[in-house]
Structure 1
Amino acid sequence: MVKTTVSVIKADVGSFPGHSRTHPKILEAAARRLKEAEGNLIIDSYVTHCGDDLELIMTHTRGEDDEEIHRLAWDIFMECAGIAREMKLYGAGQDLLGDSFSGNVKGMGPGVAEMEFEERGSDPVLIFMADKTEPGAWNYFLYKIFADPFNTSGLVIDPSLHEGFIFEVHDVMEKRRIRFSTPEESYSLLAYIGAPSRYVIKYVWKKNGIIAASTSTQRLSLIAGRYVGKDDPVMIIRAQSGFPAVGEVLDPFRTPILVAGWMRGSHHGPFMPVGVCDANCTQFDGPPRVICLGFQVCNGRLIGPADMFDDPAFDGVRLQCCELSNMMRAHGPFEPHRLSLSEMEYTTLPAVEKEFKDRWEDIPK
């Protein structure tokens, strides 16, 4: 059977005003380019934005890391960055770390999440897209969805979920990976993913090797060696029939956890789930946002989308996020609102430290 691949590739190619949202002309240009590729390189596509990030959703049969799929995304990003420069949009092309395509967009700035699978009789797929935060922001939610029986009752009462899942964790600092089997290694998994700035969940599989979830793990600052913008990750999750139900996937987002990013990529703030119409970052360039589009995948076609957080059921967490934003903002430049010094190493703070490095003196004994 021919397998279907879902590819989600994103980049900040320029926004207005400042870092708040993507311009409609950029969305239109990207959608046009993807429609031109349908029936040839790709089967179906959808274009949206989360804050200042342009999000490309594509289905095809070419598998993960396909050069032509990645080239298509790169060419679209470059064209859209050109449009952004013509309009003098802010940060035009900031996520495109290079001038020419080198076979794969990984390591070139854009974020990528992909998964290849044999379609089931019915295949619900949820695509999450975030702005003003880092890839490790997904850690909490993936653990709750695939390993916490207090969230996912199917882990207890559904025989198809009862044996648990396998998590692949990437150490983004040392460029290494490890796999943990849950529930038996749940505590060991938590020991690592509780440090989301370094240890990031990349994939989740069923014990039989069938893919359940895929995320982007690209860290812009580690690629560029300096702060050029926050990573703004994406994530794909399959639901129902051997996976957690749609409601079990969404429910953890009712908890307003604090994530790293927000203004200048240098602060902790609440992760606010919003509908696409509210995915525009304003308060202190935030707070960090997450949207979710739901599709049924049918012979490679995308049936949808449904805007999953455009629902009053999430009004409560949005209110909590607003309250937490006010509380965190009251700290001003002090931790824990501002990131710890180890994390600030990859922001603009080192430029300030360099200015004063010769003025430090040893304390007399």
Structure 2
Amino acid sequence: MAKTTVSVIKADVGSFPGHSRTHPKLLEKAAQMLKEAEGTVITDSFVTHCGDDLELIMTHTKGEDNAEIHELAWNVFMECAKIAKEMKLYGAGQDLLGDAFSGNVKGMGPGVAEMEFEERGSDPILVFMADKTEPGAWNFFLYKMFADPFNTSGLVIDPSMHEGFVFEVHDVIAKRRIYFNTPEDTYSLLAYIGAPSRYVIKGVSKKSGEIAASTSTQRLNMMAGRYVGKDDPVMVVRAQSGFPSVGEVIDPFRTPILVAGWMRGSHHGPFMPVGVCDANCTQFDGPPRVICLGFQVSDCKLIGPADMFDDPAFDRVRDKCCEISDLMRNHGPFEPHRLSLDEMEYTTLPGVEKQLKDRWEPLPE
């Protein structure tokens, strides 16, 4: 039997009002186009949104980086962008860097997380989607899931997990990658992934090579060379039977860590796990949100979804996120609420510096 591929591809093609949410017409159009492609290009699909990002979840047997799959996603985004422009939605087509498809959406704006695998007797997957943050936001959570025994009891009590996992880390500035084996390379791994604006976990696998997790690492601002918003990453994680359990995968999100993004892609704020119905960024265009949909994969079809954060067990972390939002907002334009200067390079701040460059003068000797 052919291997199953799960492809999650997202883009901000227009939202209302401002950057807060995706219009229902765009969701309807995307779902219609993917449904029409089922049985030919793809096997199954599901469409949702996180904040202002349109999220396409697709299963097929064509493998990763397949041109036909990526072209389908690109065509969906382009058609939805047309509708967004007709309605004068905000940022219509902002994540689409170009007019013509060139064989792969990577480098053209959309975020992509894909994994190909042989289905097990039971194969749960969890699809995480974020808004108002950057790809490195997953670093903390992937470490907790796959390398921290205080989070994942299976690392201690499940013999099939004792050998640990391999982390593929990308340097998104220097365009290079490195692999770390855990537990033996744990301290070296943390030395890098603790700087999530530059070092991003692309994927996690067993030491046998079997894929466990895949993320999007596209840095939209660097591709565009200008401010076009944060990157709003996606992630797919497999669970159970030699991987962390479903509960171990989602438990790290009880910790309200600070991530970069939020208003104008220029501030640190708490990463708030919410149900899909609450994935609308309003308070200071935020705070940054994350949703999680759970599926069983069966013969390349999606059984689900289950809205994993639509659970009162996460109410307390949401309350903490609100408290942290108040604390950070009280900083106003000061760091650490505002990002450091090196991270502001691709925001609108350089425009202010350009206006004032002639007013600077040397200090007296």
Aligned match of 2:356: 356
Q: Gaps spanning 5+ residues in structure 2: where?
A: none
- Rounded to whole Å, the distance in 1 between the matches of 2:309 and 2:293 is 8
Backbone CA RMSD of aligned residues: 0.4
Q: Which residue of 2 aligns with 1:15?
A: 15
Q: Which residue of 2 aligns with 1:2?
A: 2
Q: CA deviation at 1:30?
A: 0.1
How many angstroms apart in 1 are the aligned matches of 2:247 and 2:162?
18
Q: Residue 326 in 1 paired to residue 326 in 2?
A: yes
Output the CA distance in 1 between the equivalents of 2:91 and 2:204. 34
Which structure 2 residues correspond to residues 247-262 of structure 1 after superposition, within 5 A? 247-262=247-262
Task: Name the residue aligned to 1:293.
Answer: 293
Aligned residues: 365
Q: How far is the alpha carbon of 1:198 from its aligned partner?
A: 0.2
SS in 2 for 1:160: helix
By how many angstroms is 1:304 displaced?
0.1
Per the normalisation by structure 1, the TM-score is 1.00
Q: Which residue of 1 aligns with 2:241?
A: 241
Separation (CA, whole Å) in 1 of partners of 2:347 and 2:254: 30
Provide the residue aligned with 2:97 in structure 1.
Answer: 97
* Residue of structure 2 in register with 1:46 after alignment: 46
Q: Please show how residues 121-160 of structure 1 align to structure 2 within 5 Å.
A: 121-160=121-160
Q: 1:229: Cα distance to partner?
A: 1.2
Q: How does 1:166-177 map to 2 (within 5 A)?
A: 166-177=166-177
- Tell me how far 1:349 sits from its aligned partner: 0.3
CA distance in 2, matches of 1:352, 1:71: 38
- In structure 2, the residue matched to 1:227 is 227
Secondary structure in 1 matching 2:160: coil
CA distance in 2: counterparts of 1:233 and 1:58, whole angstroms: 16
Q: Which runs of 5+ in 1 are unaligned?
A: none
Cα drift, residue 335 of structure 1: 0.1
Q: Match for 1:42: what amino acid?
A: I
Separation in structure 2 between the aligned mates of residue 246 and residue 115 of structure 1, nearest angstrom: 18
- Return the letter of the residue paired with 2:347: T
Q: Indicate yes or no: 2:120 matched with 1:111.
A: no
Distance 1:259 1:227 in 2: 18
Which residue is equivalent to 1:263? 263
**Residue of structure 2 equivalent to 1:214:** 214
Structure 1 residue 273 displacement after superposition:
0.0
Cα-to-partner distance string for 1:3-56 (whole Å, 9 max, x where unaligned):
000000000000000000000000000000000000011000000000000000
Structure 2 equivalent of residue 68 of structure 1: 68
For the residue of structure 1 that corresponds to 2:125, the secondary structure is strand
CA shift, 1:358, in A, is 1.1
Partners of 1:156 and 1:237 in 2: CA distance:
20
User: Per-residue CA shift, 1:247-287, capped at 9, x if unaligned?
Assistant: 00000000000000000000000000000000000000000
1:93 partner letter: G
Superposed structure 1 runs of 4+ greater than 2 Å apart: none
Distance 1:235 1:162 in 2: 24
Distance 2:131 2:333 in 1: 21
Partners of 2:246 and 2:161 lie apart in 1 by 14
Percent identity of the aligned residues? 84
What letter matches 2:107 in structure 1?
Answer: G
Alignment of 1:177-216 (within 5 A): 177-216=177-216
Q: Distance in 2 between matches of 1:140 and 1:346?
A: 24
Displacement of 1:226? 1.1
Whole-Å Cα distance in 2 between the matches of residues 278 and 68 of structure 1?
33
In structure 2, distance between residues paired with 1:40 and 1:221: 34
Pairs within 5 Å for 1:69-88: 69-88=69-88
Whole-angstrom distance in 2 between the partners of 1:212 and 1:338: 34
Task: Note the C-alpha offset of 1:217.
Answer: 0.1
**CA distance in structure 2 between the aligned counterparts of 1:337 and 1:69, rounded to whole angstroms:** 39
